[in-house]
Amino acid sequence: MITRREAALRLDITLEMAQRHGIPTRLSEADVAAIDADPPAWLLQSRANRTGKKPTWVQLSCWVCGYSEAVRPKKWWPAFTYLSCDIHSPDELPHEASGLVRREIDGIGSRFVGIVDEAPAI
């Protein structure tokens, strides 16, 4: 059995869409495969409306320990140079390149800190 969240990941739909269209809280691998192989009209429409500009899910991975999770990306996220779990020290990451300034962004996913190395503002 898999969760609704895992089914949403595999079908590449939002968790809200899965709930709205009656995907149960737990279902079998075979049920998900059947939905994917013979999608209902709402899933066909969702797939047809995709522009490819923004992914439904992204995989976040800690540069230090490798912990990984799939999350919905946020519009405000910049391009991260590194991601690390919030329990790791900044000293565990490579230092920023010469001439760049490091910025930390808390609250990425359930436990990540996003690291952005960028040119200083003038």
Please state, for a pLDDT cut of 70, what percent of the chain lies above it.
Answer: 100
Question: Which pLDDT value is given to residue 103?
Answer: 93
H or E element at residue 15 = helix 15-20
Question: Which pLDDT value is given to residue 24?
Answer: 93
The answer, yes or no, to whether residue 111 has pLDDT greater than 80, is yes
Please state, for a pLDDT cut of 90, what percent of the chain lies above it.
Answer: 72
Q: CA-CA distances (angstroms) from residue 11 to 17, 25, 39, 42, 114?
A: 11, 15, 9, 12, 27
The answer, yes or no, to whether residue 81 has pLDDT greater than 90, is yes
What mean pLDDT do residues 105-118 have?
94
Q: Share the mean pLDDT of the chain.
A: 91
Question: Which pLDDT value is given to residue 26?
Answer: 94
Torsion angles phi and psi, residue 36, rounded to 5: -70, -40
The region of weakest confidence among 30-39, 43-52, 64-73 is 43-52
